[in-house]
Structure 1
Amino acid sequence: MPTRILLEGRPGAGKTTVVRRLSTLLRARRTIGFTTEEIRQGGTRTGFALETVDDGARAVLAHVDFPGPPRVGRYGVDLGVMERLALPPLWSAAADPARGELVLIDELGRMELACTAFQDVVRRLFTSDVDIVATVHAKSDPFTDALKRRADIELLQVNRASRDSLPQDLAARLDRS
């Protein structure tokens, strides 16, 4: 049975930190997926960048200067970034689970889920034989709430106390020799 872990936490709890550290700790597993990171100018958050786990490709996913649509809060979202960078490796993993890749997704948030093709590939991944670790906000969302209710999901809380030990604990469970 595949491993399906959702890392749930409030903004700033350390979800991205856990995923990035986990990615560097895994030695015997090929990881694919993406992380997101705030873009700050002069101490003010102005957007979010997306970076792929496997090759470090990076692009601005959302920014206050992007017109949208879609818009999430004050940010316009560039869905093309999801389509160009995030989706191809995810579709490959869903299509060929025998490759044994671990899918890391940071995060299943409103900006990323504005891309319906991303929602489609996430649904496919969660019904295929692929190991997944993904981050989700603690607040309610119909898409992520449905995932959290699945019987095959392990929901782990990320907070300041757990974020330092979680990467090592997860790596020990997920790394294959």
Structure 2
Amino acid sequence: MPTRILLEGRPGVGKTTAVRRLASLLQTRAPVGFTTEEIREGTARVGFALETLDGRRAVLAHVAFPGPPRVGRYGVDLRVMEELALSALAPLSRNAAPGDLALVDELGRMELASSAFREAVRDLLTGGVDLVATVQARHDPFTDALKRRPDIELVRVTAQNRDALPRELAARLET
């Protein structure tokens, strides 16, 4: 049975850092996927960038983007989700094999504004792909349904476990 782990935690607790460290620790697996990170101007957060695990990067959301959609004060560029994020996951949607691994950061409001991305996540969960994804703690019909699935392990990321978590996950995924 595939390993499917959702890392849930409050904003800023270290979910993205945990996924990035996990990706760097894996020695026998070559994951596909993406991470996101804040864009800051001084101390002000002005947007979010998406970076694929193979190094492609684009601005996903920014206060200067008009939207739609808008999430809070950010306009979201859905083309980034559909071109970068989906292309990063495409090898698994086309030729997934048992043991393939996807790392997804994150299943949040900006990313889930893309119906094509939601469908790609559903596709990953119907195949034999191992998945580690970060997920928003807030309630959302899509992510709440994922959290209730019997094949999903929900792991809460906290300040106490965030440093050890990447090593623990790497050990589990490489056995």
TM above 0.5? yes
Q: What code does the residue aligned with 1:58 have?
A: R
Aligned residue pairs: how many? 175
Deviation string, structure 1 residues 73-121 (Cα, Å, up to 9, x no partner): 0000011111111102313202322273310000000000001100000
**Which residues of structure 2 form unaligned runs of 5+?**
none
Residues 7-156 of structure 1: pairs in structure 2 closer than 5 A: 7-53=7-53, 55-98=54-97, 100-156=99-155
Deviation (angstroms), 1:22: 0.0
Matched position secondary structure for 2:106? coil
Identity %: 68
The answer to whether the 8 A contact 1:105-1:133 is kept is yes
Matched position secondary structure for 1:107? strand
Matched position secondary structure for 1:98? coil
What is the alpha-carbon root mean square deviation over aligned residues? Answer: 1.0
The answer to whether the 8 A contact 2:14-2:157 is kept is yes
2-structure distance, mates of 1:131, 1:154: 12
2-structure distance, mates of 1:119, 1:15: 20
Deviation string, structure 1 residues 21-65 (Cα, Å, up to 9, x no partner): 000000110111000000000210000000001x11110000000
Matched position secondary structure for 1:87? helix
Q: TM (normalized to structure 1)? A: 0.96
Q: What code does the residue aligned with 1:17 have?
A: T
Q: TM (normalized to structure 2)? A: 0.97
1-structure distance, mates of 2:48, 2:110: 9
The answer to whether the 8 A contact 2:7-2:134 is kept is yes
1-structure distance, mates of 2:151, 2:157: 19
Q: Which runs of 4+ in 1 moved over 4 A?
A: none
1-structure distance, mates of 2:16, 2:65: 23
Q: What code does the residue aligned with 1:10 have?
A: R
The answer to whether the 8 A contact 2:100-2:128 is kept is no
2-structure distance, mates of 1:30, 1:20: 13
